[in-house]
Every structure is written in C-alpha cells, then in structure tokens.
Amino acid sequence: MADLELTKPAAEQPPGAAMSDEYLLLTRAAQGDRAAFDELMDLHQASVYRFCLFMLGDEAQAADTTQDVFLKVFRAAGRYRPTASFNTWLMRIARNACLNELRRRRRHPTTPLERENRGGQTVPVQIAAPEAARPDSRAEAAERSAAVRRAVGNLPPDQRTVVSLAKLGGLSYEEISKVTGKSVPAIKSLMHRAKLALAEALADYV
C-alpha cells in the first residue's frame, strides 16, 4: 500500500460505540498511519481474496478485486461507524465489488489469457500446500478445489454470494442479511438451494 497517500481526516467515534480493533486501525489510518492500514490488510486480505476467488472463479481477477476492495476501504476510512461489525461492512464492499466485476464480465467477455494480462496492482496472497503433502495428495486436493470452484461458479449469483459469505466470510445469516439486503428467511432458502445444487455437482468428491 506504499502508493497510497493517507491524508483522510480522522474519524470520530460515535457516543457509546464500542471501539473494535478494526475501528481503531481505521481511525489511525485516516490520520495518516500507513502501518495501521497495512495491519488491517494483513488481518483481512486473505479472507477477502478467498471470497473474491469463489465469486469470480479467476485468480487474477480475484487479486485485482481484492486490491480494489481495500482501496475502497481506505477511501471510506474516515466515514466508517461501528453500527455494524467491521467484517459485515468489509464483506458488503467485497460483495458489491464482485457483483460489479461479474456485470462487467457479462458486458465485456474476455478470454482467460486476456484476464491474466490485465494491468493494475494486485494484493499478494499466498496459499501454499503443506510441505509434507505427497505429490498425489496435492494433485487430488487441487482437483477437488477446482471442482468446488467450478460448482460454486455455476450457482446463480445470489446463491453464490450467500455461500461465499457464509463459508468464506464467516458471516451469520443475520449478517448476510445486512450485507445483501435480503431477509433471513430468504437467505436460508438461498443457502438450502445452493447446498442441494453443490451436493449434486460434487457427488463424486463427497
């Protein structure tokens, strides 16, 4: 994040609001503390990347979108108020960024090679396989991971969003409701339909 100029005004804490670690880091970042924003990214970039990867199904686009999410977080640092949990607020930004990318993809379809060659900064996220794993075990794990990614990618966007927020973002149904604007019963219905579809698509791997 060395290219960012942290010149936002400091956020003021609402009366009676609890000061989470993330709120304190955002407040410091808005005051010009570069290390505070880097720390915030270190805490959350991996989960945001995984969410974007499952939503978009493309590593390069997921990394680009993760970078875009944190740029939006930085720009809104001075406006964040802890009326909802930081994770809910963050995943709402990530969800909107992914939906925007999916809409852009439908309007301007590209080949995988073109997506790989797109410019812009990316967020470095490393998910390494355990050193002790056998080559065949790593290959099987990679195959399963690719199958899950394909299955999730074939879900309708609403179902994909709910599954990704729950399983990767760690959000409750109530929090997902706040992120998506849908009712809790609607979230449960989407999750149920998504589970049925995934169970059928991944029957050979379960």
Q: If you ran DSSP here, which 8-state letter would residue 21 be given?
A: H
Per-residue confidence (pLDDT) for residue 204, from 0 to 100: 77
Per-residue confidence (pLDDT) for residue 159, from 0 to 100: 93
Per-residue confidence (pLDDT) for residue 97, from 0 to 100: 94
Residues 46 and 85 in one domain: yes
Question: What is the reported pTM?
Answer: 0.68
Residues 64 and 161 in one domain: no
Per-residue confidence (pLDDT) for residue 206, from 0 to 100: 63
**H/E element holding 199?**
helix 184-201
Per-residue confidence (pLDDT) for residue 186, from 0 to 100: 96
CA distance 137 to 129: 10
Residues 110 and 160 in one domain: no
Out of 126, 154, 171, a domain closes at 126
**50-63 tens-digit pLDDT:** 999 888 888 899 99
Residues 100 and 134 in one domain: no
Segment-wise mean pLDDT, segments of 10 residues, the chain, 206 residues = 37 45 88 90 92 89 94 88 84 93 76 43 41 61 79 88 87 92 95 92 78
Per the structure, the complete domain to which residue 25 belongs is given by: 1-126
**H/E element holding 142?**
helix 135-153
CA distance 64 to 53: 10
Residues 92 and 172 in one domain: no
State the total domains in the chain: 2
CA distance 164 to 69: 16
